Structure 1
Amino acid sequence: MAVIDAHAHIYPDKIAPKAVEAVGDFYNVDMFGDGTADGLLVAKDRAPITHFIVHSVATTAHAVTAINDFIAKQCQAHPEFIGFAAMQQDFEDPAAELQRAVELGLRGVKLHPDTQKVNMDDPRLMEVYAICEQLGLPVVIHTGDYRYDYSHPRRLVNILRTFPDLVVDAAHFGCWSRYEVGYDILHEVAMNDRVFLDESSSQFFLGQRRTVELTRMWGTDRIMFGSDFPMWDPAEEYRTLTTAGFTEDELENILWHNAERFAGVKVE
């Protein structure tokens, strides 16, 4: 069985220490990893994780193309990686860059409204979603944070209703740090085959029993395993999930098939 970590961040070696420190400061947590591609691949030696959906966040417009070049290069070097492009709300020509991302072999787009300081349903991002829908690019959207309104799940409702064919990962159970709020707001509009959720950065806070309960509330045909590396240890996140009490069929979906469907890939 393949195992896909559907939510991992990597950075160029030169800037990885600074990037990891910034993320740790943003969330006030002690980070697990060094944020490098090699650091992520070490997890394969400690758990049966076979593939990773990798991305990075562009906090400025001028960083977009460099990030996309970096992610594409890492995917070429490491067949275990499934790369997602960066985009930022002030980028001058998102259509051209996302078309270039497709040509580079990238499979989707990652957005983080809180660190990018933009409402998830800002008109500039609504243009990006329209392009992604047209190109068939799935979007990972950081969703929810009790400290901010940028990524509130009610904004995702607007996006999903506006773009009926857009494939979305409402990351962190649809509302990081307020997980039940995500379910209450999103579940009516999200119960279809184009809306997925990953459980990254959630198990530590929820515990195993509540992770199982919330996953089954959403449906084990839409929840994806994710580590949020370098914040958490992918191997430990895998062990915590696989000992939580899911059935073998449920785990096969959570660890493998759901991420394949979300990213539009087939892995062995």
Structure 2
Amino acid sequence: MPNDTRKNIIDIHCHTAGIGAGESGCFVSPALMGSWKYWVYLRAFGVTEQELKREGDGLVMRRTSERLAQSERVASAVILAMDGVVDANGNLDRSRTEMFIPNEFVAKETAKYPNLLFGASINPFRPDAIERLERAAESGAVLLKWLPAIQHIDPADERLIPFYLKLKQLGLPLLTHTGKESSFTSAKEELGDPERLRLPLFLGVTVIAAHAASSGKSQGEDNHDRFLRLCREFPNLYADISALTQINRLGHLQRLLKQTELHGRLLYGTDMPLLRTPLVTPFAYSHVLPLRRMVEIARIANVWDRDVALKEALGVPELVFNNVQWMKDTPPLP
């Protein structure tokens, strides 16, 4: 454990969800709702469908805030909205959208809790995308989140140049999924290729590659290798370390940490609620951690504190936990 154990860490990658209860505007597609993943996610969020119907979708964020308040290490979390797929006219296409969590709902709910921050999501192919981006910034958004393979967004599309320039002007970083996507029922995997981020990087946008492109291949090459090549070219490319302790990504965190020159550009994230599933367990690391240490970590009650302890044990330096230079204005700690 580091000597400085102040509660000062920001989780930049934390999801929420909703079924439309309490007039939230959220929805989940029939395909995802009919999948076993839907029930896993509800359990991981610590809610039941009946509770959401009774109390409203804001319950997910309330319980997230309550659990986070009990952490001794993590001060706040960015809660991510989730825009959907749009049709040829730029309107929301519900038939191709697996999950929709509107900005207005997330902005309203996060404003209730001092330890939750607003992460916006806007499909840039909406006709009013720039206006939506300005409204999100006015509502306190600290970043913009994309999941290209699910939202059908090609970051390399030159039609997005005005949107990117507005992002840069507003000082909002783009947190975008890189690598293979397996949390939904279907995905356009080619859109997770890190090389597709060259356009916003060239234009000077601060880009955060979620999961450091730690899974999948593009054009026969590991996505992670393509990410590392971009890092050498663009100092405005960052990455978060969310999901990198999951059992389906074993070894990726240690591989990333070998790139010591990137430690100043690695950011702490959890990919909550996946952190609260069997995908993450210290006992998956018996090849690198002694049994006593794994047991100590497993006994930590708070899920954020347990995650920090596991990542520290695996070699994540204190610098990574304290990196906040991605933010235009660092918020005061709660």
What range describes the TM-score normalised by the shorter chain of this pair?
Answer: 0.7 to 0.9
Q: 1:51 aligns with which of 56, 61, 76?
A: 76
Correspondence list, 1:220-235, <5 A = 220-233=263-276, 234-235=303-304
Residues 66 and 181 of structure 1, relative CA distance in 2, 3 Å threshold: closer
User: Counterpart in 2 of 1:173?
Assistant: 212
The separation in 1 between residues aligned to 2:311 and 2:39, in whole angstroms, is 21
Aligned partner of 1:33 in structure 2 is 45
Structure 1 residues 14-33: aligned runs within 5 Å: 14=21, 18=28, 22=32, 25=35, 30-31=40-41, 32-33=44-45
Which residue in the other structure is 2:307 paired with? Answer: 237
Alignment coverage as a number of residue pairs? 257
Inter-CA distance 23–58: structure 2 relative to 1 (3 Å threshold): farther
Which residue type is aligned with residue 107 of structure 1? V
**Deviating runs (4+, > 3 A) in structure 1?**
15-19, 21-31, 60-63, 123-127, 175-180
Paired amino acid for 2:262: G
- Matched letter for residue 255 of structure 1: F
**Against the structure 1 CA distance between its residues 66 and 109, is the aligned structure 2 distance closer, same or farther, given a 3 Å change threshold?**
same
User: Whose RCO is larger (CA < 8 A, sep 6+)?
Assistant: 1
* 1:152 partnered with 2:193: yes
How far is the alpha carbon of 1:72 from its aligned partner?
1.6
| Equivalent of residue 172 in structure 2, options 127, 137, 146 | 137
Per the alignment, in what secondary structure is the counterpart of residue 221 of structure 1?
Answer: helix
Cα distance in 1 between the residues matched to 2:215 and 2:37 = 11
- C-alpha separation between the residues in 2 aligned to 1:12 and 1:244? 34
SS state at 2:191 partner = coil
CA distance in structure 2 between the partners assigned to 1:23 and 1:203 by the alignment: 26
Q: CA RMSD in A?
A: 3.3
Normalised to the residue count of structure 2, the TM-score between the two structures is 0.66
Contact map agreement 2:107 2:118 (CA 8 A) in 1? yes
1:214 is aligned to 2:238: no
Structure 1: runs of 5 or more not aligned: none
Structure 2: how far apart are the matches of 1:114 and 1:26? 20
Distance 1:67 1:108 in 2: 15
- CA distance in 2: counterparts of 1:101 and 1:255, whole angstroms: 26
Structure 1 distance, partners of 2:83, 2:77, is 19
Matching of residues 40-189 of structure 1 within 5 Å? 40-41=64-65, 42-46=67-71, 48-61=73-86, 67-145=102-180, 148-161=189-202, 163=203, 165-177=204-216, 181-189=222-230
Matched residue type, 1:265 = D
**TM-score using structure 1 length:** 0.81
Q: 1:210 to 1:122 in 2, by over 3 A?
A: closer
Which of 17, 24, 37 aligns to 1:11? It is 17
Question: Per-residue CA shift, 1:211-245, capped at 9, x if unaligned?
Answer: 13412416221111211112223524333212223
Q: Residues of 1 paired with 2:152 and 2:39: CA distance? A: 20
> Residue deviations 1:49-80, cap 9 Å, x none?
111012121114566x9722122212321121
How far 1:97 moved relative to its partner?
1.3
Any idea what the Cα deviations from partners look like across 1:111-130, whole Å, max 9, x if unmatched? 11011123222234444222
Q: Which residue of 2 aligns with 1:262?
A: 326
Checking the alignment, whether the CA contact within 8 Å between 1:176 and 1:202 is kept in structure 2 is no
- The structure with the larger Rg is 2
